[in-house]
Structure 1
Amino acid sequence: MSTLVDAVVGHLELLHSQRKLIAQMYVSGHVVRDEQNAKALSQLQQIRAIRLNETLKDSYRLSPTVSRLLNEASYRSRNYGVSADFGKQLSRLDKLLEDFSEAYFDGRGEDVMLLQDEIDLTLFEISEEMKDFLLHVRAAAENNFGNVRTYREKEKQNLHYLEQLERIVEALSQFDDAALLESLGSSEREALEALYQGYILDRLSSWRSTTADITRVLKLYLHKLRVVEPRARRLRALQMYLLRHPEYEVRDPDEYPEIPDWAYQYEPMKLRLDLDFGRQEIRDSLADVAKNIDRSVAVPTKERRPGTPVTEAPPKAALIKGSPLVVVSQRLLNEAAHSAAPMSAARYFALAPETQVLDQESCMMCFLALLDKQVKANAQIVRRLQIELVSINDDDRLSGNVIIADVTVCKR
Structure 2
Amino acid sequence: MSEPSDLVIAYLERLYRHRALIAAAYHQGEIEADDETVQPRGLKELRRQRTLIPLGEDRFRLASSLTRHLNEVLQKEQLFAAVGGQIADLATRLPWLVDDALKAGLEGRTEDLDLYLDAFRDAVFELADQIEQSLQTLRTLTDTHFAGVRTLAEKQRQNTWYIQRAERIGEALKALQTGELMERLDEEPVVAELAVVFRRQIRERVPEWRASLLDITDILKNYLYRLRRIEPAGRRLRAFQLFLRRHPDYVMPDIDEWPELPEWAKRAAPLQLLAHPDLQDGATAEALSEVVVTLPVASNPIQRPPRIGALIAEDTPASTILTIAPRLDQVALRRFIAALPPDGQSVSALAWKRAQRDLLRLDDALWLHGLLHEATLGRRRNARLRFEPLIGAVSHPLSGNIVVHDVQVSRVQTPSGGKT
* TM bin (shorter chain): 0.5 to 0.7
> 1:218-273 CA deviation, whole Å, 9 max, x = no partner?
1222122222243244335445655744551334356235x433233221112122
User: Map of 1:40-79 to 2, 5 A cutoff?
Assistant: 40-54=42-56, 57-79=57-79
Contact 1:127/1:199 (8 A) holds in 2: yes
5+ residue gaps, structure 2, are 304-312, 324-420
Q: Distance in 2 between matches of 1:28 and 1:305?
A: 98
In structure 2, the CA distance between the partners of 1:128 and 1:306, relative to structure 1 (3 Å rule), is closer
Question: CA offset at residue 127 of structure 1?
Answer: 0.9
Q: Distance in 1 between matches of 2:196 and 2:239?
A: 62
Question: CA offset at residue 174 of structure 1?
Answer: 0.5
> 1:167-196 CA deviation, whole Å, 9 max, x = no partner?
122112101124333323313232222111
Q: TM-score, normalising length from structure 2? A: 0.65
Q: Does 1:203 align with 2:205?
A: yes
Question: CA offset at residue 302 of structure 1?
Answer: 6.1
> 1:70-102 CA deviation, whole Å, 9 max, x = no partner?
223333222112233422112211110101111
In structure 2, the CA distance between the partners of 1:159 and 1:297, relative to structure 1 (3 Å rule), is closer
Contact 1:22/1:62 (8 A) holds in 2: yes
Stretch moving more, 7-16 or 292-301? 292-301
Q: Distance in 2 between matches of 1:305 and 1:269?
A: 48
User: Map of 1:5-404 to 2, 5 A cutoff?
Assistant: 5-34=5-34, 37-54=39-56, 57-85=57-85, 86-188=87-189, 189-238=191-240, 241=243, 244-246=247-249, 248-253=251-256, 255-257=258-260, 259-280=261-282, 282-291=284-293, 292-296=295-299, 303-304=317-318
Q: Distance in 1 between matches of 2:278 and 2:271?
A: 21
> 1:5-39 CA deviation, whole Å, 9 max, x = no partner?
22212211111111111112222222222497333
Q: TM-score, normalising length from structure 1? A: 0.66
Contact 1:242/1:248 (8 A) holds in 2: no
Secondary structure class of the residue paired with 1:250: coil
> 1:284-317 CA deviation, whole Å, 9 max, x = no partner?
454344432234267997622999x9xxxxxxxx
Secondary structure class of the residue paired with 1:200: helix
> 1:196-237 CA deviation, whole Å, 9 max, x = no partner?
111112211221121122112212221222222432443354
Q: RMSD of the TM alignment (CA)?
A: 3.0
What one-letter code is carried by the residue in structure 1 that aligns with 2:279?
F
User: How many residues align structurally?
Assistant: 306
Question: CA offset at residue 53 of structure 1?
Answer: 1.0
In structure 2, the CA distance between the partners of 1:45 and 1:128, relative to structure 1 (3 Å rule), is same
In structure 2, the CA distance between the partners of 1:247 and 1:30, relative to structure 1 (3 Å rule), is closer
Contact 2:88/2:169 (8 A) holds in 1: no
Q: Distance in 1 between matches of 2:135 and 2:16?
A: 32
Secondary structure class of the residue paired with 2:61: strand
- Larger Rg belongs to: 2
In structure 2, the CA distance between the partners of 1:216 and 1:250, relative to structure 1 (3 Å rule), is farther
Contact 1:172/1:208 (8 A) holds in 2: yes
Contact 2:279/2:285 (8 A) holds in 1: yes
What's the counterpart of residue 386 of structure 2? none
